[in-house]
Amino acid sequence: MSDPLIVRALRGEEVERTPVWFMRQAGRYMAVYRELRSRVSFLDLCRSAELACEVTFQPLDAFRLDAAIVFSDILTVIEAVGREVEFEKGKGPVIHDPVRSAADAKSLRRPDVSETTLRVASDTIRLFRQSRPDMPILGFAGAPFTLLCYLIQGGGSKSFDEVKKLLWTDPQTAQQLLDLLADVVGDHMQAQAEAGAVGVQIFDTWAGILSPEDWERFALPSIQRALARVSGAPTIHYTRDNAPFLDRLHKTGADAFGIDWRVDIGHARAVLGDVPLQGNMDPVALYAPPDEITRRVHRILDAAGPRNHIFNLGHGVLPTTPISGVEAMIEAVHSHRRA
Ligand code: 1CP
């Protein structure tokens, strides 16, 4: 039997059909998830391999997907280095005791990932593989810069002003924090690769707030440092708003690159060359009528070509997304015929 489509696509082989999975494929847009969440808190889902595995299965049971992604969250690393994270309803993640100074930074720890709740992600991957050895599963982690954003700002933000203030006023402390996060993130990704993930994605969601110069100075070296600790599974780099950095993404050392919908995937191919690309439909397009969704999916598939492409959204699926839109997207990937 040949290897799964996503494994072959990540190797750059020509595939008979482009594989499809999508970011946040388990979560609030699904009624089964909301039902479980009415009984169990989000953090408790992330702290139990049995429950996380159950949630990982939910979208696979509902749709014809080519890969699972382990159910967890990027902010588990924040807890592992010593700051509590709360998820307040309607507000997103909150860190009540953010890191804003060199003294704050000293209070953090460098954990052994196998001795923290980070272990749950690799345990979930192992559990998943026992019941579905045929279905590829991806691991993931937040990138050091994106985690730094939450750690310093204390939650989500439009400008991440506190983060930039620390970068400009105390770059040494910012660098120490990035180094610490990179080492923990790298170990966490490696543990998931060793647990059997067919690929590991590094989410640098907020790096797009940086100028290209600052991206090269802060985000890039921390990704390189994290990925240097990963072997045995291909790595996928994702940044929202990465259009200004497209021509530099190869410097990360990642094996594949997520592309958001602001970039034409044909253009990304021209800039990045013959490497696996992942994306890039606008998640809001899933609210469009099925015919329009099909048209958009086929356009992306035609522009990306038969090799080096994994179909995905350009960012996570939104919680109010209609199931019919998700179905139309996946069916369109399956029904696509190459010219
Ligand atoms: O049930 C709930 O109320 C919790 C909602 C939720 C979910 C389902 C959060 C809180 N995280 C998750 C899961 C999650 N987060 C996954 C699971 C795997 C999947 O199915 O894809 C992944 C990969 C993430 C990654 C994540 N968390 C990112 C990077 C990707 C992205 O979307 O930009 C970020 C920035 C976070 C932080 C986070 N976690 C949760 C929230 C509400 C947030 C804030 C950012 C946001 O709202 O998108």
Residue 339: pLDDT band (50, 70, 90) is: confident
**Does residue 244 surpass a pLDDT of 90?**
yes
Higher pLDDT, 2 or 56: 56
Q: How confident is the model at residue 89 (pLDDT cuts 50, 70, 90)?
A: confident
pLDDT band at 91 (very low <50, low <70, confident <90, very high): confident
Is residue 155 included in any domain, yes or no? yes
Is 35 within a domain? yes
* Residues 177-231 pLDDT 10s: 999 999 999 999 999 999 999 999 999 999 999 999 999 999 999 999 999 999 9
Q: Are 102 and 173 in contact (CB under 8 A)?
A: yes
Provide mean pLDDT across the span 35-46.
97
pLDDT band at 338 (very low <50, low <70, confident <90, very high): confident
23, 24, 158: residue to mutate for ligand 1 pocket, most atoms within 8 A of CB: 24
Q: Whose CA is nearest to atom 19 of ligand 1?
A: 24
Domain annotation covers residue 168? yes
**What span, in angstroms and rounded, lies between the C-alpha atoms of 157 and 138?**
28
- What does the mean pLDDT of the chain come to? 97
Domain-located, residue 20: no
pTM beyond 0.95: the answer is yes
Q: List CB contacts of 210: < 8 A, sequence separation 6 or more.
A: 145, 218, 219
pLDDT of 3 reads 96
Torsion of CA 223, 244, 247, 212, to 10 degrees: -60
Q: Ligand 1 centre and the CA of 316: distance in Å?
A: 8
Q: How many domains does the chain have?
A: 1
For residue 90, the model assigns a pLDDT of 79
Pairing of strands 86-88, 92-94: antiparallel
Q: What is the pLDDT of residue 156?
A: 95
pLDDT band at 174 (very low <50, low <70, confident <90, very high): very high
What CATH number corresponds to the domain at position 132? Answer: 3.20.20.210
Please answer whether residues 323 and 289 qualify as being in contact, where contact means their C-beta atoms are separated by less than 8 angstroms: no
DSSP 8-state class, residue 324: H
| CA-closest residue to ligand 1 atom 13 | 73
Domain of residue 189: give its range. Answer: 26-62+70-258
Pocket of ligand 1 (CB under 6 A): 23-28, 37, 42, 69, 71, 73-75, 87, 92-93, 140, 156, 203, 205, 316
Task: Tell me whether residue 282 is one of the annotated catalytic residues.
Answer: no
Q: Say if 205 falls within a structural domain.
A: yes
What is the distance between the alpha carbons of residues 271 and 274, in angstroms, rounded to a whole number? 9
Question: Would you place residue 294 in the very low, low, confident or very high pLDDT band (cuts 50, 70, 90)?
Answer: very high
Strand, helix or coil at 293? helix
Q: What pLDDT digit, counting tens, does each position of 100-132 carry?
A: 999 999 999 999 999 999 999 999 999 999 999
Three-class DSSP category at 177: helix
Active-site pick, 150, 183, 225, 296 = 150
Read off the tokens for 135: 């279905």
* Model confidence at 313: pLDDT above 90: yes
d(CA 117, CA 140): 15
Residue 24 CA to ligand 1 centre (angstroms)? 7
For residue 16, tell me if it sits in a domain.
no
Q: Is residue 132 part of a domain?
A: yes
The H-or-E segment that residue 213 falls in is: helix 212-214
CA distance 257 to 312: 11
Write the CB contacts of 174 (distance below 8 Å, at least 6 apart in sequence): 148, 166, 167, 218
CA nearest neighbour of 121 among 44, 49, 23: 49
Selected catalytic residue, list 8, 37, 47, 217 = 37
Is 58 within the bounds of a domain? yes
Check: CB of residue 210 under 8 Å from CB of residue 146.
no
- Average pLDDT score over residue span 57-75: 98
**Higher pLDDT, residue 91 or 313:** 313
